Amino acid sequence: MQSFKAQVMRFDIITLFPEMFDAVTKYGITSRAIDKKLYEVHCWNPRDYTTDVHKTVDDRPYGGGPGMVMLIEPLEKAILSAKAGNAGKVIHLSPVGKPLTHELALSLSKETGLILLASRYEGVDQRLIDAQVDEEISIGDYVLSGGELPAMVLMDAIIRLLPGALGDSDSAIEDSFVDGLLDCPHYTRPETYQEQSVPEVLLSGNHAKIKQWRLKQSLFKTMTKRADLLANRLLTKEESRLLLELDTELALMQEQDSYNEKV
């Protein structure tokens, strides 16, 4: 039986909507990882740190303009409460942050704890960010209504990388981006669907051939969908050879296509 690190990764989340995090803690791989005590989650609601009867957490922006801005005080108190039990860095999920990638998730998966600030409205008073936030992370070039989904995306990306989180430990190794390539296509039963058969090599039982076919398919997908990934990657001899093979095959296909158009 495999044994995994005893360290439990601790996530403290600053959020107005703690219930949303059930989506991570109650379903699938991330739920099983919590059962295995690979990580734990503590939520801190800024509303619990307000002092007025309306539990106000936002106010109008100085200088005017649309939307509301989150007040410093309730957020600061919530962050300080989280910091009492978590020495990890404070991350604000924000469209202006550093883009989330596999490498970033992998490096964060080595931390023992993280405090995630999921903000709402137009955002957070900049002075709170300057004083309390160590890093800002974006999950993409688009704007969502709040930081909860981005925080959950970040958590899921990290949790599946924690040793012992995945049932079959190999499945993370073969995922897209892990070794700089996109994943190969996958097939399961039935063997034939709408007259399309599963590629023969996958039925051959020849593991070396299957491995090579999968690598070639990964290279093909990466080359045609995300050529930028290949540009940043040192290729092995085998990969260079397979890429040359793919180039030749593609050139032949193009020749055939233009011939078919003419006749």
The reply on whether position 46 binds ligand SAM by CB under 6 A is no
Strands (E), 74-203: 89-99, 113-117, 135-138, 192-193, 196-197
**Which residue lies nearer to ligand SAM by CB, 68 or 178?**
68
Q: Which span sits near ligand SAM by CB under 6 A: 22-30, 43-51, 94-102, 106-114?
A: 94-102
Q: Report the residue from 94, 109, 132, 217 that binds ligand SAM according to the rule CB under 6 A.
A: 94
Number of residues that bind ligand SAM (CB under 6 A): 19
Helical pair 148-159 and 28-35, crossing angle rounded to 10 deg: 70
Phi, psi of 29 (to 5 degrees): -55, -40
Dihedral angle, C-alpha 160, 162, 165, 169, nearest 10 °: 90
Beta strands in 3-106 (DSSP E): 9-14, 39-44, 58-59, 69-70, 89-99
Indicate whether 123 belongs to the interface with ligand SAM (CB under 6 A). Answer: yes
Structure tokens at 147: 């930081």
Catalytic residue among 73, 122, 156, 183: 122
Q: Is 139 in the site for ligand SAM (CB under 6 A)?
A: yes
Q: Select which of 136, 156, 175, 183 is catalytic.
A: 175
Among 18, 61, 95, 163, binds ligand SAM (CB under 6 A): 95
91 near ligand SAM, rule: CB under 6 A? no
Largest CA distance in the chain: 80
| Encoded tokens for 105 | 């998730």
Where do we find the tokens 């099983």?
A: 32
Q: Which of 10, 120, 160, 216 binds ligand SAM (CB under 6 A)?
A: 120
Answer for which of 80, 87, 131, 144 binds ligand SAM (CB under 6 A) is: 144
Phi (first) and psi of residue 153, to 5 degrees: -60, -45
- What Rg value do the Cα atoms of the chain yield, rounded? 24
CB 155, min distance to ligand SAM, A: 13
Residue 151 CB, shortest distance to ligand SAM, in Å, is 8
Give catalytic status of residue 122 as yes or no. Answer: yes
Catalytic site residue 95? Answer: yes
Asked if 99 is part of the footprint of ligand SAM (rule: CB under 6 A), the reply reads no
Does residue number 93 form part of the binding site for ligand SAM (CB under 6 A)? yes
User: How many DSSP H helices and E strands does the chain contain?
Assistant: 10, 9
Determine whether 247 is an active site residue: no
Does 173 engage in binding with ligand SAM (CB under 6 A)? no
Q: Does 146 engage in binding with ligand SAM (CB under 6 A)?
A: yes
**Nearest Cα to 93, choosing from 1, 202, 35, 11?**
11
Quick check: bond before 190 cis, omega within 30?
Answer: yes
Which of 18, 32, 61, 95 is catalytic? The answer is 95
Nearest residue to ligand SAM on Cβ basis = 147
Catalytic site positions: 95, 122, 160, 175
Interacting residues with ligand SAM (CB under 6 A): 93-96, 118-120, 122-123, 138-140, 142-147, 150
